[in-house]
């Protein structure tokens, strides 16, 4: 393999699988991390026209009294029906994907793209490697319920809206098992990072 100016790694997995933690560990090793959810937050904050468009589709109840988007209410409504989720994704995905590609194009070295719907959005075509997180459902539920306000029902709806692990697996170059300790997770991340970083131009 020829050495490259940059190598892009897409990190994906189901809700509560540990994507953000894994991306942070890659970042600690020197990788640049592009987080899709943070980009969505910026879009909602800086593009009032998008917020208005979403409110027209989902109703004014997705807005706060100050006219800002209430992501919790929006998510609950969007994941209540497949057609709602498709409508939201049609608005947001093109903007997020465009921004991610812009960030990739102006970066070098090892770049981590943390995207829940990496494969579903076809963004996997823009990365060199795919890292897929594997976590048992019991742990996923436990992690999400501990750190968020969504119910178990909402969580299961979100998981059901994503491709199942068995379908994502065929796209993966690396699979990280996140069912044990943080030390074990660090070891797996470091092994992948060292394996790809050697192909970066100095």
Tell me the per-residue pLDDT of 93-105, one tens digit each, with 9 for 90 and over. 999 999 999 999 9
Tell me the per-residue pLDDT of 145-179, one tens digit each, with 9 for 90 and over. 888 878 888 888 888 888 999 999 999 999 999 99
Query: Residue 23 has what pLDDT?
Result: 97
Q: Is residue 49 part of a domain?
A: yes
pLDDT interval class at 2 (50, 70, 90): low
Q: Is residue 126 part of a domain?
A: yes
Q: What CATH code is carried by the domain that includes residue 83?
A: 3.40.50.300
Q: What is the mean pLDDT of residues 73-81?
A: 91
Q: Provide the token pair at 72.
A: 């919790």
For the cut 70, the answer to whether the pLDDT of residue 202 exceeds it is: no
- Per cent of the chain over pLDDT 70 is 98
pLDDT interval class at 35 (50, 70, 90): very high
For the cut 70, the answer to whether the pLDDT of residue 59 exceeds it is: yes
Q: Provide the token pair at 184.
A: 């074990």
For the cut 90, the answer to whether the pLDDT of residue 57 exceeds it is: yes
The domain in which residue 52 lies consists of: 6-197
Q: Is residue 202 part of a domain?
A: no
Q: Provide the token pair at 83.
A: 């057609």
pLDDT interval class at 85 (50, 70, 90): very high
Upper half-sphere CA count for residue 42 (Cβ side, 13 Å): 10
Q: Is residue 128 part of a domain?
A: yes
Stretch (H or E) spanning 42: helix 36-46
Q: Is residue 1 part of a domain?
A: no
How many structural domains compose the chain? 1
| Average pLDDT score over the chain | 93
Q: Provide the token pair at 102.
A: 């812009």
Cα–Cα distance for residue pair 46/14, rounded to 1 Å: 28
């Amino acid at each position: 393999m020829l050495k490259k100016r940059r190598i892009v790694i897409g990190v994906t997995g189901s809700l509560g699988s540990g994507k953000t933690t894994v991306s942070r560990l890659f970042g600690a090793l020197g990788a640049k991390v592009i987080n899709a959810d943070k980009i969505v937050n910026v879009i909602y904050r800086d593009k009032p026209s998008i917020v208005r468009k979403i409110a027209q589709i989902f109703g004014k109840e997705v807005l706060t009294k100050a006219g800002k988007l209430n992501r919790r209410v929006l998510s609950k409504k969007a994941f209540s029906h497949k057609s709602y989720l498709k409508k939201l994704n049609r608005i947001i995905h093109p903007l997020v994907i465009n921004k991610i590609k812009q960030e990739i194009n102006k970066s070098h070295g090892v770049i981590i793209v943390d995207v829940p719907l990496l494969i579903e959005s076809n963004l996997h075509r823009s990365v060199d490697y795919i890292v897929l997180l594997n976590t048992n459902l019991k742990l996923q539920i436990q992690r999400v319920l501990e750190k968020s306000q969504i119910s178990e029902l909402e969580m299961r709806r979100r998981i059901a809206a994503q491709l199942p692990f068995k379908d994502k697996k065929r796209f993966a170059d690396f699979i990280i098992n996140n069912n044990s300790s943080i030390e074990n997770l660090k070891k797996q991340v470091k092994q992948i990072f060292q394996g790809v970083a050697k192909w970066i131009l100095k």
